[in-house]
Amino acid sequence: MAQLDLRKKLSVLADAAKYDASCSSSGTGKRNSIGGKGIGSTEGMGICHAYTPDGRCVSLLKILLTNFCIYDCAYCINRVSSNVQRARFSVQEVVDLTLNFYRRNYIEGLFLSSGIIQSGDYTMEQLVLVAKSLRLDHDFRGYIHLKLIPEADPRLVEEAGLYADRLSANIEVPREEALTRLAPQKDLAVIKKAMGQVRLKVEAAKPQKKDRIKPPKFAPGGQSTQLIVGADGAPDTEILDRSASLYGGYGLRRVYYSAFSPIPDSSAALPLSKPPLMREHRLYQADWLMRFYGFSAPEIGEATTGGMLDLAVDPKLAWALNRRELFPVNVNTADREALLRVPGLGVKSVDRMISVRRYRTLRLEDVARLCRGIDKVRPFITALDWTPGGLTDAVDLRARLTPTVEPVQMSLF
């Protein structure tokens, strides 16, 4: 094969990596390059350096080391039976690209993934080499996210955690049955074992009070995974149950939901259609409710139809419309947990309200200034000068709170 020039390779290997929803560069500790020989810093919160017209941010140089792959996962553009153009970066090329982009302030760091070539061990070794060279040869202190090859030797996973801020292994297909059908060589048990190993290592690396010498850092940004939505027929409730089990079992920082998107040269096993973007959005909202609002997966499931989240209204509003006996909530006396369950009130708004009400009794107008929009909130609260009367139980409440243009949802099944 003719040698591809570097820019062409970049276009092939960035294109192939764009289906991974994660691009976050947050969650790791603070670092800077003062006193070092290289460049780079992390602030804890990631920085998005650009946004593409698909609304997603560019925070990291997200590329594959290679899109050659010995696996044949139907949903993946890089599966062995796909006819896409193939390319492979050398370790040095990835290191140079990362540093060149970073110096110009285009990116926060590198997110490196790869098709499986030769073997899991060999592939993982190559990924680790890139991170190792950035950290050791160039004293690079920016963000590094490495994709885990789950079947790789645990020793390599351990090494990856020394250099990377975050590790991730994608589950992709929420249903085990579908996984065997769509991704015959992927094994959920192997992925879970790798995640379990990462959790144990992350915990072992947390310094204890009695430790005199801090243990070496291990993936301080934790681990994440991705579930593809709309490729295997799994309803939202099943997806959320899977997420709850992943958060609890492996201490994941994030579960990413990626609406199954048509890919060029797609497999006959999957029908082509527009990606279910609204469904993806609702799943992120539901996920948020589980992580920051104290909702459990079954509670969110209460307000679904046939296991699917309501596309017209957000999951918290859907839940509240279903549980109207719990409302209205008095914004001047209710506890934090109850306020967090009011549609339209976020964690920040609630915390501000609680702090303000020590000095003032809240009127509706005050609440309006503390949250993003009062319309959704009004039927579910009482304030000093406001009571919703029969509004909370109004038959047409749902219609009143639903945006006039109903989103049209395409579905694959």
CB of 389 to other proteins, least distance (A): 23
CA 178/CA 158 separation, integer angstroms: 30
Q: Is 319 exposed, middle or buried (0-12, 13-18, 19+ CB in 10 A)?
A: buried
Q: Which is nearer to other proteins, 195 or 345 (CB)?
A: 195
Contact (CB, 8 A) for 228 and 282: no
Structure tokens at 104: 């110009």
Q: Which is nearer to other proteins, 157 or 259 (CB)?
A: 259
Q: Which is nearer to other proteins, 74 or 397 (CB)?
A: 74
CB of 396 to other proteins, least distance (A): 29
**CA within 13 Å, CB half, 339:** 22
- Count of C-beta atoms within a 10 Å radius of residue 212: 5
DSSP, collapsed to helix, strand or coil, labels residue 275 as coil
CA 30/CA 42 separation, integer angstroms: 5
CB of 325 to other proteins, least distance (A): 25
Alpha-helix residue ranges (DSSP H) falling in 251-276:
none
Q: Which is nearer to other proteins, 36 or 402 (CB)?
A: 36
Q: Which is nearer to other proteins, 333 or 355 (CB)?
A: 355
CB of 394 to other proteins, least distance (A): 27
Q: Which is nearer to other proteins, 368 or 394 (CB)?
A: 368
From residue 324, alpha-carbon distances to 27, 317, 360 in Å are 37, 10, 28
Structure tokens at 54: 């698909």
CB of 323 to other proteins, least distance (A): 21
CA 25/CA 19 separation, integer angstroms: 17
CB of 128 to other proteins, least distance (A): 21
Task: Report DSSP state, residue 4.
Answer: P
CB of 124 to other proteins, least distance (A): 16
Strand-pairing partners, residue 229, are 259
Cα three-residue angle 46-49-52, rounded to 5 degrees: 120
Q: Which is nearer to other proteins, 311 or 356 (CB)?
A: 356
Q: Which is nearer to other proteins, 164 or 371 (CB)?
A: 371
CB of 342 to other proteins, least distance (A): 16
| Helix axis angle, 120-132 to 154-163, nearest 10° | 20
